[in-house]
Amino acid sequence: MNIDTQAVQTGLEWDTRTGALSIPIYQSATFRHPGLGQSTGFDYSRSGNPTRLALEQGIARMDGGSRGFAFSSGMAAITSLLLLFQEGDHLVVTEDLYGGTCRLFDRIFTRFGLSFSYVDTTDREEVLAAITPSTKALFVETLTNPLLKFADIPALSTICHERGLLLIADNTFLTPYLLRPLERGADITVYSATKYLSGHNDTVAGLAVVRDPQLAEQVYFHQNSAGAVLGPQDSWLVIRGMKTLGVRLDRQQENALKIARWLQRHPQVTRVHYPGLEEHPDHDLIRRHARGFGAMIAFEVESHSLVEQLLLRTQLISFAESLGGVETLMTFPEGQTHADIPPELRARLGINDVLLRLSVGIENVDDLIDDLNQAFNKRETTV
């Protein structure tokens, strides 16, 4: 079954009694036992809730894993996965990743004895050089935030599995609709479901999918014990959003390519990062492994004054920090999403004071280009 069909069908098998096409929202903290020592399969909603389970089964099918897990946010999902490790363990990590993930690693989990090395995970030799006897996992973003470098999951999985390491792939930007990392050798995928999977900027959620059933049992133990689970109302919202994932991403990618090409030609734009452009260094690699290039664009303008001008003077495009929804959003990574990355690392990576990140929505692309054009051309009037 095609993945877009799988997404639409999520939850349809649940209410066989009434035939409801929309999974009910089981807004219950606890469940009555049918008898002593008996259970319906649901006892307490932290341990399991029918609406959440429908979402978890749906994302597991879409990703090709043994089991899925729904958390209260993407960061809660990553936090629960880090509970797989113990004091003294070391992880090799994508260097240009989301600043909140970097903050979680460096300012929280280092206090509990974990250590992290940040490398360019598109460079096999850098990855190999960073592995130590205490390394237990490689954590990558399949398409990095914000510079849009692509991780070669099959090559990285070979490195990991030859050395007994876990490969954890944050697949938020591409989603299983465009890339299924578990099929290419990853052990765990993780998502900020706030973004493309829910797709409407109306809920905060995180998802993880595990390939190996025994490893999935460990993840469930931590999910249940730590309790950062997704509530039934938000689970329903993510299910509803996932049903239109395919049609939304098709439109968003189409828009993104047209906008990226327009930005390339603009005299005040000095650089465009979008893997759908033939000039992108990972363009051919993504074409081999993924079904598309996503709908995120990063671009640099010729001066910092243009950054504020564009952020504040666009009329359709909102100045906001999230991404992946139907509305087009723009943000300034250096001062917002990636402010927690050390300044010297930001400078080396190219996350600078002229870089903007654009999350392309489903609006008419001509209207979006017109909005960008008028923001570029607007000038303060002097009296």
> CA dihedral defined by 225, 214, 48, 208, rounded to 10 degrees?
90
Strand 269-273 relative to strand 296-301: parallel, antiparallel, unpaired?
A: antiparallel
Q: Is the CB of residue 262 less than 8 Å from the CB of residue 372?
A: yes
Cα 168 to Cα 207: distance, rounded to the nearest angstrom: 13
**From CA 132, how far away is CA 52, in angstroms rounded?**
38
Residue of 61, 67, 184, 195 with catalytic role: 195
Q: Are 347 and 302 in contact (CB under 8 A)?
A: no
Which position among 15, 46, 120, 258 bears the catalytic label? 46
Annotation marks residue 234 as catalytic = no
Query: What is the residue type of 129?
Result: A
Q: Of the listed 63, 89, 170, 234, which one is catalytic?
A: 170
The tokens of 74 are what?
């993407």
Q: Is 46 a catalytic residue?
A: yes
* Tokens describing residue 114: 């974990």
Of the residues 26, 98, 118, 274, which is catalytic?
A: 98
Contacts of 179 (CB under 8 A, 6+ apart): 142, 153, 171, 289, 290, 291
Catalytic residues: 46, 98, 170, 195
